[in-house]
Structure 1
Amino acid sequence: MLAAQKAGGDVIYKAVFTKPGETTRAYSHDTTNRQLPSTTTESDWLQNADVIVDNRDDGNLTDLDLTGFQCVVSLGYNTGVARAVWQASNAYSLKDVVTPTTLTGQQFICTTAGTSHSSEPTFPTDLGVTVTETGGVVWTNDGNTGDEYSPMAPLKVIAQSGETRQDEARVTFACAGLANQMEQDEASVEFSQDELSVSTVKTLIGNLTDSVASFAPFSHTEVISTSYGDEDGLIDTYKPKETYHVSSGASRASTVQGLLGLSRMVPRFEDDGNLHIDILVSGDADTWTASTAYIVGDTVIPTTPNDNVYKCTTAGTSDSSEPTFPTTEGQTVNDNTVVWTLTYDFQYNSDDGEHQFWETSSRKRLVIPNKSTYKSHPSHIPQFSGSATDATDFAKLPLETFHQVRLESNAQGAELATAEIARVRADAEQSALHSPPNVGQEVWDLVRITDNWDATGKVTIANVRAIERSYGPGLFETTLRFGFGPAMAPLGISNPGIGADTDTFEADVAATLDAVIGALNNIIAVVNKNTLGTRITQGAIVRILSRLTALEQGGGLTNLDDLTVKKLTVTDLFQGTAEEL
Structure 2
Amino acid sequence: MRSLSDTLTSMQKASGPALCKIVLTQQGDSTTHTYDLGTTNRIMGLSHPEQEWGQTAQVLIDNRDANLSALTLEGYTAVISYGYNTSSGEEYSATAPLTVISQVNDTIFRPNGDLLTTFGLAGLFNLWGEQEASEAYAPDRINTDTVKTILDAIAGATLTAFSDYPAHTITYDSGYDDSIINAFKPKDAFFVAKGESRLSAFKKVLAYTKTKARVENDSGTATIHIFQPTTTGSTYDYEYDDAQALTNHNFFNKSVRTRLVLPNKVVVKNHPDHEDSFTGNDTDAASYAALGNQYYTETIYARTASNAECTRLAEARILTHQLNAEKGHGIAPMNVGQEVIDYINITDSAAGDSRAGNIGFLQRNYSQGSAFEFEFRFGRLLTTGLAGTLPPRGTAVDSPELSAMWDYLEGLNDNQQLIVSALESLFDRTEFTHLSVTEEMEIPQGANKFT
Q: Kindly indicate whether the alpha-carbon contact (under 8 Å) linking 1:434 and 1:479 is maintained by their aligned counterparts in 2.
A: yes
Identify the residue that residue 475 of structure 1 maps to in structure 2: 371
Matched, 1:459 2:402: no
Q: C-alpha separation between the residues in 2 aligned to 1:32 and 1:517?
A: 40
Q: Kindly indicate whether the alpha-carbon contact (under 8 Å) linking 1:359 and 1:491 is maintained by their aligned counterparts in 2.
A: no
Secondary structure at the counterpart of residue 239 of structure 1: coil
Cα distance 1:395–1:535, how it changes in 2: closer, same or farther (>3 A)? farther
**Residues 246-304 of structure 1, C-alpha deviation per residue, up to 9 Å, x if partnerless?**
1001011111111111010111000121100111321xx4xxxxxxxxxxxxxxxxxxx
Identify the residue that residue 315 of structure 1 maps to in structure 2: none
Q: Kindly indicate whether the alpha-carbon contact (under 8 Å) linking 2:229 and 2:343 is maintained by their aligned counterparts in 1.
A: no
- State the TM-score, normalized to the length of structure 2: 0.82
Identify the residue that residue 274 of structure 1 maps to in structure 2: 223
Q: Kindly indicate whether the alpha-carbon contact (under 8 Å) linking 1:13 and 1:75 is maintained by their aligned counterparts in 2.
A: yes
Q: Kindly indicate whether the alpha-carbon contact (under 8 Å) linking 1:403 and 1:529 is maintained by their aligned counterparts in 2.
A: no
Q: C-alpha separation between the residues in 1 aligned to 2:408 and 2:194?
A: 27
Identify the residue that residue 254 of structure 1 maps to in structure 2: 200
Structure 1 residue corresponding to 2:159, chosen from 201, 205, 215: 215
Cα distance 1:533–1:29, how it changes in 2: closer, same or farther (>3 A)? farther
Secondary structure at the counterpart of residue 104 of structure 2: strand
Matched, 1:161 2:104: yes
Structure 2 residue corresponding to 1:347, chosen from 219, 239, 243: 239
Matched, 1:55 2:4: no
Superposition deviation, residue 60 in structure 1: 2.0
Superposition deviation, residue 350 in structure 1: 1.1
Structure 2 residue corresponding to 1:417, chosen from 314, 322, 341: 314
Cα distance 1:234–1:21, how it changes in 2: closer, same or farther (>3 A)? closer
Q: C-alpha separation between the residues in 1 aligned to 2:164 and 2:44?
A: 38
Matched, 1:80 2:87: yes
Q: C-alpha separation between the residues in 1 aligned to 2:235 and 2:270?
A: 39
**Residues 140-164 of structure 1, C-alpha deviation per residue, up to 9 Å, x if partnerless?**
xxxxxx2211001000100111233
Q: Kindly indicate whether the alpha-carbon contact (under 8 Å) linking 1:258 and 1:535 is maintained by their aligned counterparts in 2.
A: no
Q: Kindly indicate whether the alpha-carbon contact (under 8 Å) linking 1:243 and 1:533 is maintained by their aligned counterparts in 2.
A: no
1:25 maps to amino acid:
H
1:392-431 correspondence runs (5 A): 392-397=286-291, 398-431=295-328
Q: Kindly indicate whether the alpha-carbon contact (under 8 Å) linking 1:244 and 1:532 is maintained by their aligned counterparts in 2.
A: no
Cα distance 1:351–1:232, how it changes in 2: closer, same or farther (>3 A)? same
Identify the residue that residue 203 of structure 1 maps to in structure 2: 149
Q: Which one has more relative contact order, counting CA pairs under 8 Å at least 6 apart?
A: 2
Superposition deviation, residue 395 in structure 1: 2.6
Q: C-alpha separation between the residues in 1 aligned to 2:130 and 2:82?
A: 28
Secondary structure at the counterpart of residue 412 of structure 1: helix
Unaligned 5+ segments in structure 2 are: 1-7, 383-390, 429-451
Cα distance 1:3–1:35, how it changes in 2: closer, same or farther (>3 A)? same
Q: C-alpha separation between the residues in 2 aligned to 1:533 and 1:370?
A: 19
Q: Kindly indicate whether the alpha-carbon contact (under 8 Å) linking 1:153 and 1:269 is maintained by their aligned counterparts in 2.
A: yes
- State the TM-score, normalized to the length of structure 1: 0.65
Cα distance 1:191–1:533, how it changes in 2: closer, same or farther (>3 A)? farther
Superposition deviation, residue 191 in structure 1: 1.1
Identify the residue that residue 396 of structure 2 maps to in structure 1: 492
Secondary structure at the counterpart of residue 186 of structure 1: coil
Unaligned 5+ segments in structure 1 are: 82-145, 286-308, 310-341, 495-507, 537-581
Q: C-alpha separation between the residues in 1 aligned to 2:307 and 2:323?
A: 25
Matched, 1:385 2:279: yes
Aligned length: 396
Secondary structure at the counterpart of residue 430 of structure 1: coil
Cα distance 1:38–1:535, how it changes in 2: closer, same or farther (>3 A)? farther
Matched, 1:20 2:27: yes
Identify the residue that residue 45 of structure 2 maps to in structure 1: 37
Superposition deviation, residue 515 in structure 1: 7.7
Q: Kindly indicate whether the alpha-carbon contact (under 8 Å) linking 1:527 and 1:535 is maintained by their aligned counterparts in 2.
A: no
Cα distance 1:4–1:534, how it changes in 2: closer, same or farther (>3 A)? farther
